[in-house]
Structure 1
Amino acid sequence: MNFLTIVFRYTARLLLSCSVFSLSSPIQATPQSKEISILFVGDMVLDDLPGKTIAQGNDPFDHFKSIFAAADIRIGNLECVIATSGRASEKNFTFRAHPRVVPILKKYFDAVSIANNHSGDFGPDAFNEMLSILEQHDLSYFGGGRNLRDAHRPHIIEKNGLRIALLGYDEFMPRSFEANTNKPGVAWSEDEQVIADIRNAKSQLRADIVIPFMHWGWENEKVANQRQRQLARKMIDAGADAVIGGHPHVIQDTETYKGKPIIYSIGNFMMDALDNEAQTLGWAVRLRINQHGVHAWDTRVAKINSEGIPHPLMKKPSPCWNKKGDSIEMCNTLQ
């Protein structure tokens, strides 16, 4: 890395920390808050068999319909670009879904993270097309944007008197398709910027709850690596109330740090052509939140069939953790 690159990145970060929040509207006082639930699901690739299911007029999310309906807020990782334009990058796997999938996504999700290593599979034109399509359908996204400021801007959801800030970051190496001051792309998880984003979400946007949704770790590893653990703890220290992760394509271990949950990888949720049995299992994680933070969480295990469609593996959620100290062993039995 040469001197000019270092200066540019430092300047971009400095400008970003000052400007991401400057366009926000005045913040109004919120009414008395009460508990809400947020459901997170993992990697969703809608370009092959799940996409064909939608093209045939069927709903690949149907088996989880009641579980989605029971949550106040629903979030997923969109592991493909949605577009008709662009040219495939020179990489082993590239994913591009047809815009027809967006109404189904809108039916089930309040927002999607686009901070992952496949958002740029078909280049900036396809990425910009996806952003426009999502905006046309009023489906919120975070973790990427048309420039650096947009990519790092938290998505704010207000529900039952609570302000929740969602942040998304990609950490897939080699570092690529990263948003810049005048270039579209995803938000990269540079430690100093992540910490600044979290602190600013709390102090400037007055978020009651901040949750980073990470794309990190090593594929097929069932235990989080040291880098994941270090960054997760930094995020909690900076003010995050929970950390949710994905990308390894398998479920990873969990941790409670300073009374706050870190769920390192929730695995896959909707995709076909899976490599092994562990990749066919994912978690639909429900966080139960009040003004004091996350006070409990549980999971529904998703079993993905050969067509890439998830089915609930258990009829009832598996209790994982609450601030009274419940065991998390039931969450780990299917790893």
Structure 2
Amino acid sequence: MTRPRLGRAARPLACLALLSALAACAARQPASWHPPAGPAEPAATASPAPAPAEEITLAFAGDVHFTGRTLALLKNPDTAFGPYAEQLRAADFAMVNMETPITDRGSEQPKEFHFRGPKESYAAIKAAGIDLVSIANNHTLDYGQIGLLDTLDSAKEAGQPVVGAGHDTEEAYAPYLTTVKGVRLAIVGMSQVHDLKEQWKPTATRPGIAMAFDKNLAVAAVKKARAQADVVIVFMHWGTEGQSCPNGEQKTFAKLMADSGADLVLGTHAHVLLADGFLGDTYVHYGLGNFLWYSVSKSTDTGLLTVVIKNGKVKSRVFTPGTVSNNGQPVPVTGNALKAVQQRLDQAARCTGLAPSPQA
């Protein structure tokens, strides 16, 4: 609204009329409206808006396969994830890594293991209350670009959000954005596995998965997410298979992500559980292990991570240990089995280099 200017000789009656008109105009504006600023001082740099104070609960689990022995679980998608589904559904937001591309086409790529699953996989994921799956891993292109494109198309058809891959570089590195109880979340998915990384990375004209090796793209993705969200999560596929200690590459990249604005950095891939802690006030979990698993592996240890967020930061977290049962389904453990998993987690915690609580 432009304020009319009065000359020096304006009559008092005119001033009163103008003031009355301005008051009436202001009364019609919404509560967030402010009158235009005067011509005076240079604008100050705006401070970022504080994150909403509402508490939200996030749930994360590890690698999921719908092939081999777990294929039979799709006969009843509503129960595929077993007892953990209750905790997944109870969270405000839940996420896993899916290692089976959804396709029945394509050609096997030059690598040792090849996985793929049917479209019914999405029904099981949705029934368990899982909101987002990362497909930034070393199996999404097991059947080439055709397999990846089929995965993207079938996810869209099923209404299942995915992150970490796309038709080109921009789409692959784009954060997934959602709002939960007024809290804006941005999730970036990336892989740090070396196998076929050059062939599988996206370009401006080629589909692929987001790779952590391109530091410029990785940092740009997190900064883009930071500009759009109250909470930024980086979900990684990383680590050394069979090793419960993070390698140097993981530690370096976790620090880079924290410095770039990530609030949580966590991931999967090693087939064993790793441990967690804090880099400054950024929460890091180096490895969530296998979750719904197709065959025998380096460990049957599994679990579900539940994180409570308040004011944009991790307020508390709980890891519920479990085991991968004979049908590939994850099941929480109790008694001596629980103590055994906890001992292995305690051992893994000694080599993270992370602080047990946030550091200023």
TM-score, scaled to structure 1: 0.82
Q: Which runs of 5+ in 2 are unaligned?
A: 1-48, 349-360
Match of 1:121 in 2: 142
Q: Which AA in structure 2 matches 1:182?
A: T
Match of 1:143 in 2: 164
**Superposition map of 1:106-117 within 5 A:** 106-108=126-128, 109-117=130-138
Match of 2:118 in 1: 98
Q: Quick one: percent identity of the two aligned structures? A: 26
Which of 345, 351, 359 aligns to 1:332? It is 345
CA pair 32-331 structure 1, distance change in 2 beyond 3 A: farther
Shift of 1:253: 2.7
Which of 186, 193, 217 aligns to 1:165? It is 186
Match of 2:219 in 1: 195
Name the structure where strand makes up a greater proportion of residues. Answer: 1
Shift of 1:151: 0.4
CA contact (8 A) 1:84 1:99 kept: no
Which of 262, 269, 274 aligns to 2:296? It is 274
CA pair 177-69 structure 1, distance change in 2 beyond 3 A: same
CA contact (8 A) 1:163 1:208 kept: yes
Which of 141, 156, 173 aligns to 2:177? It is 156
**Superposition map of 1:313-328 within 5 A:** 313-314=333-334
CA contact (8 A) 1:42 1:246 kept: yes
**Superposition map of 1:260-271 within 5 A:** 260-271=282-293
Between the aligned partners of 2:326 and 2:219, the Cα distance in structure 1 is 40
Q: Which AA in structure 2 matches 1:65?
A: A
Between the aligned partners of 1:118 and 1:76, the Cα distance in structure 2 is 15
Match of 1:64 in 2: 84
**Superposition map of 1:11-26 within 5 A:** none
TM-score, scaled to structure 2: 0.76
Secondary structure of 2:79's counterpart equals coil
Q: Does 1:47 align with 2:71?
A: no
Between the aligned partners of 1:38 and 1:223, the Cα distance in structure 2 is 24
Shift of 1:302: 2.5
Shift of 1:83: 1.1
CA contact (8 A) 2:61 2:97 kept: yes
Which of 279, 288, 298 aligns to 1:257? It is 279
Cα deviation digits, residues 199-249 of structure 1 (max 9, x gap): 12122x2x1000100111110011001111111011111110011111111
Cα deviation digits, residues 135-186 of structure 1 (max 9, x gap): 1111100000111111000001101111010000011113141111111110
Shift of 1:79: 0.9
CA pair 222-57 structure 1, distance change in 2 beyond 3 A: closer
Secondary structure of 1:97's counterpart equals coil
Q: Which AA in structure 2 matches 1:287?
A: V
Runs of 4+ residues deviating >6 angstroms: none
Which of 255, 259, 266 aligns to 1:244? It is 266
Q: Which runs of 5+ in 1 are unaligned?
A: 1-28, 319-328
Q: Which has the larger radius of gyration?
A: 2
Q: Which AA in structure 2 matches 1:307?
A: N
Which of 221, 239, 248 aligns to 1:217? It is 239
Q: Which AA in structure 2 matches 1:181?
A: A
Q: Which AA in structure 2 matches 1:308?
A: G
Between the aligned partners of 1:268 and 1:291, the Cα distance in structure 2 is 31
Between the aligned partners of 1:57 and 1:159, the Cα distance in structure 2 is 25
Match of 1:325 in 2: none
Secondary structure of 1:66's counterpart equals helix
Q: Which AA in structure 2 matches 1:285?
A: L
Between the aligned partners of 1:171 and 1:222, the Cα distance in structure 2 is 16
Shift of 1:191: 1.8
Match of 1:26 in 2: none
